[in-house]
Amino acid sequence: MGVKEITMTLDKTYQGVSLSQGTMLERDLVPTFLRFLSKIEGKEILSYVEQLSLENKAALLCWLVGVDVDLATPQAQDEMSWFLWEVLVEALNDIAPEGCYFGSHSGDGADYGFWPNEDLWEEEE
């Protein structure tokens, strides 16, 4: 199953809003980003994880309720990394306010949110 198409963008009030600070761990980022997307789009969290293996679905459910589990195999780790960066971060970037991107802050790599795209502003000057 492919990545879900998102047809909305957030308004400017989300510019500068941080979703996660102080961590770069998948077990922290994946649940945080999933909860935000679910809230914004009004969908159940599990509707986003259809493409994950059963092992990673189980790990994700543990993470969502605050149980810290490790991914058992390199394949599971690779799949969860793909899910974080290629599915969730791309989906969040797709809904970023106009003139913004979703990702780590340029001054703090562990601060993920919606930041002004400095390159756009430089081109306009």
DSSP for 48-116, written as a single string: G-TTS-HHHHHHHHHHHTT------SHHHHHHHHHIIIIIIHHHHHHTSPTTEEEEEETTEEEEEEEEE
How much is the mean pLDDT over the chain? 86
Q: Is the per-residue pLDDT at 28 higher than 70?
A: yes
Is 3 part of a structural domain of the chain? no
Is 1 part of a structural domain of the chain? no
Is 5 part of a structural domain of the chain? no
Do the Cβ atoms of 115 and 105 come closer than 8 Å?
yes
Do the Cβ atoms of 19 and 34 come closer than 8 Å?
no
Q: What is the mean pLDDT of residues 68-89?
A: 90
Is 9 part of a structural domain of the chain? no
Q: What is the pLDDT of residue 7?
A: 62
Is 67 part of a structural domain of the chain? yes
If one counts the domains in the chain, the total is 1
At residue 94, what is the residue type? D
Name which residue leads in pLDDT, 83 or 1. 83
Is 93 part of a structural domain of the chain? yes
Is 19 part of a structural domain of the chain? yes
Can you give the residue range of the structural domain that contains 97?
14-124
This prediction has a pTM of 0.82
Q: What is the pLDDT of residue 64?
A: 85
Q: Is the per-residue pLDDT at 118 higher than 90?
A: no
Is 8 part of a structural domain of the chain? no
Contacts of residue 90, defined as CB under 8 A and 6 or more positions apart, other chains included, come to: 3
Predicted confidence band at 38 (pLDDT cuts at 50, 70, 90)? confident
